[in-house]
A = this chain, B = another copy of it.
C-alpha cells in the first residue's frame, strides 16, 4: 500500500478583503482578492462551504485523505478555473495553494440563490465540468496503467495550460503521484522512461517539453 506523507499547511487562510474586483474572465465572480503562499490552505474538509473561488494566478490542489494519511488529489485548478462548489453544506475536500497563488473569493450564496438564469446556468456548467473531470479521473484511476496515467496527465495539463508543448508544472512529483494514484517513484521512473523513448524532454523537474504530443496522446489508450 502506498503512503503519502501528509503535507500540513503552514498557516490557515483568513479571507482578508484586499479589494473588490470584477472577474477578469468568462465567469462573473464578484468578490475579494486573496493572496496565498505555497502550501497554504484555502479551505479544509468539514468546514462550511460558503464561498467559491476563481484562480487568477498560481494553482490549487483539492484532495481527500484516508485515516492513515493516504492522500488522493481530486483535481488541480489552474488560472481561469473556478473551484469550491460542493455537493452539500460542508467541504468534502481540503484545498491548498500549490505555489504562490492569487484567488478571487465570492460568497456561494451570491451565485446559488440568484435566480438570474445566466448565473445559475454558468454555475451549473462549472459543477458539471467538475463532474465530467471526476468521471474521467475515475476511468484513469480504475483502468489505466502507470504509463497511460502519466501520459494522459501530461496531455491534459498541456491542454488546460493553453495547448502548449512546453509545460511549466506548478506541482511536485508527490502531487502528481497523489493525483494519479501512484507513488512518487513510479511517476519519476515513468517520466524518465517517456524521455528515453523520445516522447518528452525534461528540463529541470518542473519544466517538460512534449516532443511528440501526438504519440503521447495515443499512449493514453
Contact = CB atoms under 8 A, between A and B. Distances in A.
Contact of A115 (B4, B74, B117): B117
A2, A70, A129: which has the most chain B beta carbons within 10 Å? A70
Nearest to A63: B139
A93 B88 CA distance: 25
Interface stretch (A18-26, A130-138, A202-210): A130-138
Contacts of A137: 138
A156 to B, nearest CB: 14
B128 A221 contact: no
B143 A221 contact: no
Contact of A138 (B70, B74, B117): B74
Interface string A102-144: 0000000000000101001000100111111011011101111
Nearest to A64: B139
A8 interface: no
Contacts of A192: none
A2 B138 CA distance: 15
A180 to B, nearest CB: 7
Interface of A: 1-2, 4, 64, 66-68, 70-72, 74, 86-88, 92-93, 115, 117, 120, 124, 127-132, 134-135, 137-139, 141-145, 178, 180-181, 221
